Amino acid sequence: MRGFEKISFAEFRKTFGDDKKLYQEYNLPRRSSKHSAGYDFLAVKDYVIKPKEILKIPTGIKARMQGDEVLLIVVRSSMGFKYNVRLTNQVGVIDSDFYNNIDNEGHIFISLQNEGDKDYVIKSGEAYGQGIFMKYLLSDDDAAEGTRIGGLGSSNKRKDEKDE
């Protein structure tokens, strides 16, 4: 019960437009070798990140996992070493209850910043980030009882709070 799925076409349309061919053709994340820890996220379309620019890239992907698992999103090592491109939040944390949330179905976005001095080009189908599934532990005195009420940033809100 762990894996990746495409978001629905209705959710896809909100970000990418009404392009059924594009929806049918983009790929789910995959590992590049049998010993790779990370599943490479592949670009749905071409992107260019100019020096000092931040770009929030929609993946078209959602991830399902067990309740005691997390998907960590990190950049590919070569992006930082060779091109000085980094994830804006350093490590993305996708909780299991982000899947199929009411705001965006659990659509994962990856935000990259180009700290280099040249345009960073990502071609459609190229890897630009990776996801690593991991188990996590709870403290002995854990008392969390909350329920996710939406998408990104919603886990720190109570059910009776609304975004302003």
pLDDT (tens, 9 = 90+) of the chain, 164 residues, equals: 899 999 999 999 999 999 999 999 999 999 999 999 999 999 999 999 999 999 999 999 999 999 999 999 999 999 999 999 999 999 999 999 999 999 999 999 999 999 999 999 999 999 999 999 999 999 999 888 877 676 666 555 545 554 44
User: Is residue 161 a part of any domain in this protein?
Assistant: no
Q: Is residue 88 part of a domain?
A: yes
Number of domains composing the chain: 1
pTM greater than 0.85 (yes/no): yes
State how far the Cα of 80 lies from the Cα of 103, in Å rounded to an integer: 31
The answer to whether residue 147 sits within a structural domain is no
Q: How many whole angstroms separate alpha carbon 92 and alpha carbon 71? A: 8
Q: Is residue 125 part of a domain?
A: yes
Q: Report if residue 132 sits inside a domain.
A: yes
User: Is 148 contained in some domain?
Assistant: no
Q: Give the residue numbers spanning the domain of 77.
A: 3-137
163 lies in a domain? no
Q: What is the CATH number of the domain that holds 98?
A: 2.70.40.10
The residues near 85 (Cβ < 8 Å, ≥ 6 apart) are 49, 75, 79, 112, 113, 114, 115, 116, 120
